Structure 1
Amino acid sequence: MTTIPARSSFRFWLICSLLAFMNCLCWSGQSWSAERKPNILLIVADDLGYSDLGCFGGEIETPHLDSLAARGVRLTQFYNTGRCCPSRGTIMTGQYPHRIGLGHMTRNLNQRGYQGHISDEAITVAQILQQGGYRTFLSGKWHLGTEDPTKLGFEEFYGTLVSAKTFWDVNHFTRLPASRATHTYPKGEFYGTDALGDYAIDFLRMGRHTPEQPWFLYLAFNAPHFPLHAPKEEILKYADRYHAGWDKIREQRLARMKKMGIVPPETKLSPRSQYWDWGEAEARVNPAWDSLPSDRRGDLARRMAIFAAMVDRMDQNIGRVLTSLKQNNELENTLIIFTSDNGACAEWDPYGFDIRSSRNNTLYWGDQLDKMGGPDTHHSVGSGWANASNTPWRLYKHYNHEGGIASPGIVHWPAQIKQQGTIVSTPAHIIDIVPTLLTAAQVDYPAQWNGLKTIPLPGQSLFIPINNSPQTERTLYFEHQGNRAIREGRWKLSALRGGPWELYDISVDRTELNDLAEKHPEVVKQLDQKWQTWANANFVLPFPTDYRIDYLAPLKQ
């Protein structure tokens, strides 16, 4: 029997120990090359409020998203840009929206920050990941002002190129490349959210044809954005749930949020929010639920029931995708990020609108309630319920107070994120999504693209706050339609279009109830200067003099 000399034995042990230590270092930071690169699933909801999900305090049944939260991390100070087009542009590029021409919507306002389409020099994360060896798929809403996502990094696309006009008409949805085969649905059985789930699962199957390549799937729902459309069986599940009214629902949600640790125990419920009706400059305040006539309460309870049904059905389709991952042993090494593109939508008053986005409102009662949500209807949920969806914050989509820019955030990756069920309250922003995906994929952001020098990413990887890594204090910026904000440390400046800055100490007053602007004018001045510098550098200013939309009242001169 051959023996190893003691000195050689020690050397052998030392080498093995060093190798083991180096392997541990590799896995403790943000390098995970020892395993196959992760698949990436990015899920975005449309007009989902901060507290709508069960895991964020809501009463809507969302067991699949709740399970991701239970095994992952919830981000409770995760910010968006306040509107769908700008947010989706930011999610795709990692840039603030004005920087890529999407400071408003898809109408060209003839200013660099407001071109109405993703700028030619912009790079999408799909393009970068594709170059890094990933398969890339998109099932859902594009809405970036261009006609073909497959020209911006996606191999396959199914969904809506614009904001959804209906969930019931198969012809409203597009398959690209156009030569691809499509599903055939029996008459009366097409529902847009289910179709997005169908094609998402199709795309996962395609990705498995090349097992040596990881995949990136962007599952971009257009639910629960209006029109309020949902299958009848789903609506009936919630038909009685909202007769309690928005005041009671807000109180109940906040109580659950405190118990879960989503908000601090001392958080105060903001008063019922203001709203601005179509084309009006003067604000009104959402009424108390009990002050409304009984027939109006019945109509509004059914609207919120349909909204809840849409969220429920979205969660069911997320569940179908998760099942596909589990059945193929992919869930553990798939990075999943979920968020919403903005806060809940108030358009335009407490009663909501019908037929089209406008002042139109129809009061439904009695047997008419059963027709709501069907193929021949078009409703919105209104400002009262949007206020409840954004519990406990002020305001809604369009605005830069917390109700407009705070989203639920979930990050799930069991192979790397071990802090199951953790709540992370460090401020983060959707500008951080692209850096996060590239970090996980071990793909560098290119220094040049098509021969041009690229714009540095303003965000940082979400793994920094998730892993409690040291980081410098951040400054986050916001603007939409003249509404604006800046967040730095404990301070936040918020302002309505044409209005003065309001100053809030977010560490103790995230509901933005106590304006400290007069008490701390030096803080206002300092943050205003930073916002102005950012706004000039990112083509936010000058503000458009005409947004070319009827619902926005002209500013008083």
Structure 2
Amino acid sequence: GVGRLLEVSTKSPDPLGVRLSAFNLSVEVDGEPNPVLLEAAFQGSKVFATQGQFTHLYEVKDGSAVRRFMNELPDDRLTGFRFDGHDWPLSPRTAFYDWLYLHSLRELARRDDQAEETLFGVDGFTDIEFNPAKSINCQARSNALYVALTKNGTLTDALTDLTIDYLEQYDREHPLFLVLSVEPPHWPLEAPEEFMRFDPETLKVRPNFGDRPDLRERLAIYYAMIENLDWNIGRLLEAMQAMEKFQDNTVTVYFSDHGDFMGSHNQMEDKGHPHEESARIPAVFHAPGIIAAQGARHDLFSLVDMVPTTLGLAGVNGSTHLQGTDFSPACRAEAFEGPEEVLLEMVGNPRVHFDYTDWRGLVTGRWKYAFYESGHELLFDLKKDPYEQNNLAAAAPSTCAELRGSLLKMLADTREPYFDVLIEHGVQPEGPTLNPSQRRRDGIAPHWDDMIENV
């Protein structure tokens, strides 16, 4: 039988069901300064034979008001949908609605891991009311579709299909900026069966890999997810190369937002710390005839550099207020000197357990330094200790002080609102923090050693 059912509606008894309704989820719409309510995006994208499109609905923040407006319209024939300059046909009947929902749920998952984890713990979905004689779209169905695609490991395949279809239909004159954002490789660990070829016992792992018995099995699935992603990137590039409008005039950038440790430091599917397996991510720029093939570079590139670099490759001068460095000369193998240090930060950690706290830090060509809100510090010599197994904070106070000063300057340059006060004036709490939960130390936050007492 079915276990936990989640009603997806504004009247759901479960707060998550309310949050997942079309009246509360939101999507990004080109040209709109703020996220648009999913229901408003759907209704505002409808194109009618006589009345056209009601894009002013994008600005309405009340889903009920949107629905009332649509119900009061004179009868008219729906001809299709137009969203972000792209036309969607009426067939398949639920394609546009499902696409909007998948896009919105994907963005929610990126912002809130805890909500996603709860979503994947549900056994089924229901809607407060659904009459197929009057409506073809169903919130419960769209949520179930997202979970099913992700659990089956086919979400990346489906999103790549949609991207290729979009490119094939693209006929606008002005240049295209397109983002394909996929979740895998990410929790939950699921991959298509044809990519599950890795033997956990023979995997090559890093020297700081942990000893928990489940780590190798999970890493094997993770590698399969990476291969599936790589396969999809390959077929996307092949499809683009076969389209004359995108040949030899397209820059492709691959990057991620964070790592997941995946067994290093005995951590799995975690991202909340400054270690290399969490904070160091790939960034690959590809453009035949535009970017010189030169292999890996060791410059200190970070996500804040993505906008000025992309603009530089497009030949556009970025605004003076932009933070970050334009790495386009480096991509073209021209003379280039990048930053000597890069800011790292964990802001708004969800605090679902004691291992999740905020911190600020920096990395240079040699040092990794971080200051936690608890007052603890991390210091790693990446030249001598590339796997970050020896915290030198207590043994090298002068180096900590120098890097702490550099960090404070970087925080001032980025208009940090409060963490500089913690660094300069914060005090550690008196006595231990009591941990009444069943979760004992399985994390790597430095305050486990002297600030937390299990009860």
Q: Rate the CA distance shift 1:145–1:516 in 2: closer, same or farther, 3 A.
A: farther
Alpha-carbon separation, structure 1, partners of 2:383 and 2:335: 20
Q: Is 1:401–1:494's contact at 8 Å kept on the other side of the alignment?
A: no
Q: Is 2:327–2:338's contact at 8 Å kept on the other side of the alignment?
A: no
Q: Rate the CA distance shift 1:170–1:220 in 2: closer, same or farther, 3 A.
A: farther
Q: How many residues align?
A: 308
Q: Is 1:484–1:496's contact at 8 Å kept on the other side of the alignment?
A: yes
Q: Rate the CA distance shift 1:302–1:523 in 2: closer, same or farther, 3 A.
A: closer
Alpha-carbon separation, structure 1, partners of 2:345 and 2:283: 21
Deviation at 1:206, TM superposition (A): 3.5
Q: Is 2:300–2:341's contact at 8 Å kept on the other side of the alignment?
A: no
Q: Is 1:486–1:493's contact at 8 Å kept on the other side of the alignment?
A: yes
Correspondence for 1:398 among 261, 264, 272: 272
Letter in 2 for 1:526: E
How do 1:535-546 and structure 2 match up within 5 A?
Answer: 535=411, 537-539=415-417, 541=419
Q: Is 2:241–2:247's contact at 8 Å kept on the other side of the alignment?
A: yes
Per-residue CA deviations over 1:520-547 (Å, capped at 9, x if unaligned) read 53332232123234435222526799xx
Alpha-carbon separation, structure 2, partners of 1:306 and 1:383: 19
Q: Is 1:473–1:489's contact at 8 Å kept on the other side of the alignment?
A: no
Q: Is 1:426–1:465's contact at 8 Å kept on the other side of the alignment?
A: no
How do 1:84-123 and structure 2 match up within 5 A?
Answer: none
What is the aligned partner in structure 2 of residue 469 from structure 1? 335
Deviation at 1:230, TM superposition (A): 2.6
Alpha-carbon separation, structure 2, partners of 1:324 and 1:169: 37
After superposing the two structures, state which structure 1 stretch, 163-172 or 408-417, moved more.
163-172
Correspondence for 1:531 among 401, 407, 423: 407
Alpha-carbon separation, structure 1, partners of 2:383 and 2:125: 48
Deviation at 1:215, TM superposition (A): 0.9
Q: Is 2:341–2:363's contact at 8 Å kept on the other side of the alignment?
A: yes
Alpha-carbon separation, structure 2, partners of 1:473 and 1:161: 31
Q: Rate the CA distance shift 1:427–1:533 in 2: closer, same or farther, 3 A.
A: closer
Per-residue CA deviations over 1:427-458 (Å, capped at 9, x if unaligned) read 111111111111122334457xxxxxxxx222
Alpha-carbon separation, structure 2, partners of 1:318 and 1:171: 32
Alpha-carbon separation, structure 2, partners of 1:495 and 1:125: 37
Q: Is 2:261–2:277's contact at 8 Å kept on the other side of the alignment?
A: no
What is the aligned partner in structure 1 of residue 323 from structure 2? 458
What is the aligned partner in structure 1 of residue 309 from structure 2? 436
Aligned-residue Cα RMSD (Å) equals 4.6
Alpha-carbon separation, structure 2, partners of 1:534 and 1:517: 20
Any idea what SS the aligned residue of 1:304 has? helix
Any idea what SS the aligned residue of 2:370 has? strand
Task: Say yes or no: does 1:411 pair with 2:285.
Answer: yes
Gaps of 5+ in 2: 1-24, 42-57, 60-82, 87-99, 110-115, 127-136, 347-356, 430-436
Letter in 2 for 1:527: L
Q: Is 2:304–2:324's contact at 8 Å kept on the other side of the alignment?
A: yes
What is the aligned partner in structure 1 of residue 166 from structure 2? 203
Per-residue CA deviations over 1:126-171 (Å, capped at 9, x if unaligned) read 76xx99xxxxxxxxxxxx9875698799556662231155599999
Alpha-carbon separation, structure 2, partners of 1:168 and 1:315: 30
Deviation at 1:305, TM superposition (A): 3.5
Equivalent pairs: percent with the same residue?
A: 24
Q: Which is bigger in relative contact order (C-alpha 8 A, separation at least 6)?
A: 1
Q: Is 1:193–1:314's contact at 8 Å kept on the other side of the alignment?
A: yes
How do 1:483-498 and structure 2 match up within 5 A?
Answer: 483-495=359-371, 498=374
Correspondence for 1:225 among 186, 191, 211: 186
Alpha-carbon separation, structure 1, partners of 2:165 and 2:401: 53
Any idea what SS the aligned residue of 2:204 has? helix
Alpha-carbon separation, structure 1, partners of 2:365 and 2:222: 35
Q: Is 2:29–2:84's contact at 8 Å kept on the other side of the alignment?
A: no
Gaps of 5+ in 1: 1-116, 119-123, 132-143, 173-177, 252-268, 273-285, 351-381, 388-395, 448-455
Q: Is 1:400–1:478's contact at 8 Å kept on the other side of the alignment?
A: yes
Alpha-carbon separation, structure 2, partners of 1:199 and 1:525: 51
Deviation at 1:415, TM superposition (A): 1.7
Per-residue CA deviations over 1:56-93 (Å, capped at 9, x if unaligned) read xxxxxxxxxxxxxxxxxxxxxxxxxxxxxxxxxxxxxx
Letter in 2 for 1:539: P
Deviation at 1:517, TM superposition (A): 4.3
Task: Say yes or no: does 1:332 pair with 2:198.
Answer: no
Any idea what SS the aligned residue of 2:326 has? coil
TM normalised by structure 2 equals 0.55
Q: Rate the CA distance shift 1:308–1:146 in 2: closer, same or farther, 3 A.
A: farther
Any idea what SS the aligned residue of 1:504 has? strand
Q: Rate the CA distance shift 1:470–1:408 in 2: closer, same or farther, 3 A.
A: closer
Q: Rate the CA distance shift 1:171–1:465 in 2: closer, same or farther, 3 A.
A: farther
Task: Say yes or no: does 1:249 pair with 2:125.
Answer: no
Letter in 2 for 1:475: E
What is the aligned partner in structure 2 of residue 312 from structure 1? 227
